[in-house]
């Protein structure tokens, strides 16, 4: 004979049904995608200090001490002692004062170094202006260029710091970026870039301004430099840094980009194409647009595949799923509602304790994510979607029990479904552990 326990059992059955309905906002429901997870992100920033990459902010124009030199962020190198071997004092403004009374000040933005001697004599040099040393042109960062062309013609330094030769060759060098550009007489132009990094005593890579990055990726792969001046790791991470303005760019293996300015402490993250999919999306043009569910879904699947016994469902109202698939590979769904009523008619075994009705009402939150279509399958992942919540009420003439329910949101989930699309209609097919596949039918609302 039925009793109060039957009411709870009925309510539990409704809750089980709603567990499926909670995925009504996800026509791309589990099973989950297979394969390894996307590579871990490298270089997240905490405040003004990028963590994991070993990078740290630097004071503007405060040189770092390396060996017997002070090195400014544009690569300018200054001795750390006077001519008698006595160490210089680094002042708060980044200038150096020597025991013999000489002071050296440097501006990394202009490249100019000002040397003031004890007798008041002032000498100005510029890292961007090469000097002729032992027959070679030498820039302030140590880059050397032969003093003559192949025919023996002597080169000349132009006011802008470039070197021109009698045969028509012109060479420019930017110590700040490490870029050397050569324009030949026949019009050809070649570019060679030194990334401006050196190996520190700990093996890590360090730029002229003191910014550092590990010598290996998390798997131990050794970093290397490219001709364009990037630092590249075997896991696909790439890093560039401009000491002149403090800009650092990190391209992660998943295609996302992190930029950080160590002068302003500003950090920006640019999501990769495909977002949580971890790869650029493959777009089926037929799927792009605004769609509304016109058939299928969890409710129809339950009616077809779960035995309801004597229970009838006089009211079953579930908001049709509105789905927008965008050309950039993102998607979104709108919120929805659930309003169900279950009814068990009287029969010869009915008593006053038997459940008569069960009602359920709930709200489904909107979701967002990314999609990709290939070989008749739509793959998708959710990057937002809150819980589905509501309440189930079971009632008899003498008893009424209300039980709240809640199911986890879609955020973080992913899945794959088969699909067909013919222009204005779109269907998905999801195999289920038991019973027939769960299907969705959509009709196009607009492009």
Report the distance separating Cα 126 and Cα 184, nearest Å. Answer: 25
**Residue that finishes a domain, picked among 229, 244, 271:** 271
Please check whether residues 164 and 230 belong to one and the same domain: no
**142 lies in a domain?**
no
Report the distance separating Cα 9 and Cα 11, nearest Å. Answer: 5
Please check whether residues 263 and 309 belong to one and the same domain: no
Q: For residue range 356-403, what is the model confidence (pLDDT) as tens digits?
A: 677 888 888 888 888 889 889 998 887 777 567 778 777 777 777 787
Please check whether residues 240 and 331 belong to one and the same domain: no
Q: For residue range 200-256, what is the model confidence (pLDDT) as tens digits?
A: 667 787 776 667 788 888 888 888 877 666 788 888 788 888 766 778 888 877 667
pLDDT for the residue numbered 229? 67
Number of domains in the chain: 4
Report the distance separating Cα 290 and Cα 287, nearest Å. Answer: 9
On the question of pLDDT at 311 being above 50, the answer is yes
Please check whether residues 246 and 300 belong to one and the same domain: no
**182 lies in a domain?**
yes
Q: For residue range 114-164, what is the model confidence (pLDDT) as tens digits?
A: 999 999 999 888 878 888 888 899 887 778 899 999 899 999 999 888 999
DSSP character at residue 222 = B
Please check whether residues 321 and 410 belong to one and the same domain: yes
Q: In a 10 Å sphere around its CB, with 0-12 CB exposed, 13-18 middle and 19+ buried, how is residue 189 labelled? A: exposed
236 vs 417: which has the higher pLDDT: 417
User: pLDDT class for 438, splitting at 50, 70, 90?
Assistant: confident
Tell me what percent of the residues of the chain surpass a pLDDT of 90: 21
Please check whether residues 295 and 399 belong to one and the same domain: yes
Tell me what percent of the residues of the chain surpass a pLDDT of 70: 72
Instruction: Give the CA count within 13 Å in the CB-facing half-sphere of 119.
Output: 2
Q: For residue range 290-302, what is the model confidence (pLDDT) as tens digits?
A: 999 999 888 888 7
Q: What is the 3-state secondary structure (H, E, C) of 163-221?
A: EECCCCCEEEEECCCCEEEEECCCCCEEEEECCCEEECCCCCEEECCCCEECCECCCCC
User: pLDDT class for 324, splitting at 50, 70, 90?
Assistant: very high
Report the distance separating Cα 20 and Cα 306, nearest Å. Answer: 12
On the question of pLDDT at 284 being above 60, the answer is yes
What's the N-to-C CA distance of the chain in angstroms? 57
Please check whether residues 248 and 298 belong to one and the same domain: no
pLDDT for the residue numbered 370? 85
pLDDT for the residue numbered 389? 78
Domain span at residue 245 reads: 45-57+195-271
Residue with tokens 């699909």: 419
**Residue that finishes a domain, picked among 235, 254, 271:** 271
Please check whether residues 82 and 113 belong to one and the same domain: yes
What is the overall mean pLDDT for the chain?
76
**133 lies in a domain?**
no
Hey, what are 261's tokens? 């300015």
**74 lies in a domain?**
yes
3-state secondary structure of 6: helix
Please check whether residues 31 and 172 belong to one and the same domain: no
Please check whether residues 420 and 376 belong to one and the same domain: yes
Please check whether residues 234 and 365 belong to one and the same domain: no
Which ranges of 99-152 does DSSP label H, i.e. alpha helix?
none
**132 lies in a domain?**
no
Hey, what are 279's tokens? 């790869």
**134 lies in a domain?**
no
Hey, what are 384's tokens? 């937002």
Please check whether residues 282 and 318 belong to one and the same domain: yes
Report the distance separating Cα 320 and Cα 299, nearest Å. Answer: 11
**Residue that finishes a domain, picked among 271, 304, 321:** 271
Residue with tokens 């998943």: 254
Pairing, β 112-116 against β 122-126: antiparallel
Q: What is the mean pLDDT of residues 89-95?
A: 90
pLDDT for the residue numbered 179? 81
């Amino acid at each position: 004979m039925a009793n109060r326990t039957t009411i709870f059992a009925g309510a539990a059955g409704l809750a089980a049904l709603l567990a499926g309905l909670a995925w009504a906002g996800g026509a791309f429901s589990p099973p989950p995608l297979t394969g390894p997870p996307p590579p871990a992100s490298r270089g997240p920033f905490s405040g003004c200090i990028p963590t994991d990459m070993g990078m740290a902010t630097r004071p503007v124009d405060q040189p770092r001490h390396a060996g017997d030199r002070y090195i400014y962020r544009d690569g300018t190198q200054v001795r750390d002692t006077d001519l008698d071997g006595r160490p210089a004092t680094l002042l708060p403004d980044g200038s150096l004062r020597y025991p013999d009374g000489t002071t050296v000040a440097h501006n990394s933005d202009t490249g100019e170094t000002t040397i003031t001697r004890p007798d008041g004599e002032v000498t100005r040099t510029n890292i961007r202006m090469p000097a002729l040393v032992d027959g070679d042109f030498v820039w302030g960062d140590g880059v050397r260029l032969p003093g003559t062309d192949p025919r023996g013609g002597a080169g000349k330094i132009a006011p802008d710091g470039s070197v021109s030769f009698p045969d028509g060759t012109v060479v420019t060098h930017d110590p700040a970026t490490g870029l050397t550009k050569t324009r030949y007489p026949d019009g050809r132009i070649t570019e060679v870039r030194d990334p401006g990094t050196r190996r520190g005593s700990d093996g890590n890579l360090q730029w002229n301004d003191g910014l550092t990055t590990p010598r290996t990726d998390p798997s131990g792969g050794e970093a290397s430099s490219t001709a364009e001046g990037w630092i590249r790791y075997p896991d696909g991470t790439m890093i560039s840094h401009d000491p002149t303005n403090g800009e650092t760019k990190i391209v992660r293996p998943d295609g996302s980009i992190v930029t950080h300015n160590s002068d302003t402490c500003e950090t920006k993250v640019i999501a990769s194409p495909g977002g949580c999919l971890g790869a650029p999306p493959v777009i089926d043009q037929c799927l792009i647009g605004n769609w509304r569910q016109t058939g299928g879904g969890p409710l129809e699947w339950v009616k077809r595949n779960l035995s309801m016994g004597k229970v009838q469902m006089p009211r079953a109202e579930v908001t049709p799923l509105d789905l927008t698939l965008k050309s950039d590979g993102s998607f979104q769904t709108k919120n929805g509602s659930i309003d169900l009523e279950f009814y068990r008619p009287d029969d010869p075994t009915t008593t006053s304790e038997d459940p008569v009705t069960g009602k359920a009402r709930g709200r489904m939150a909107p979701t967002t994510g990314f999609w990709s279509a290939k070989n008749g399958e739509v793959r998708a992942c959710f990057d937002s979607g809150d819980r589905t919540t509501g309440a189930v009420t079971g009632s008899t003439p003498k008893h009424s029990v209300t039980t709240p329910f809640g199911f986890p949101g879609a955020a973080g989930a992913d899945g794959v479904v088969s699909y067909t699309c013919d222009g204005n209609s779109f269907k998905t097919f999801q195999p289920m552990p038991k019973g027939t596949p769960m299907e969705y039918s959509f009709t196009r609302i607009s492009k």
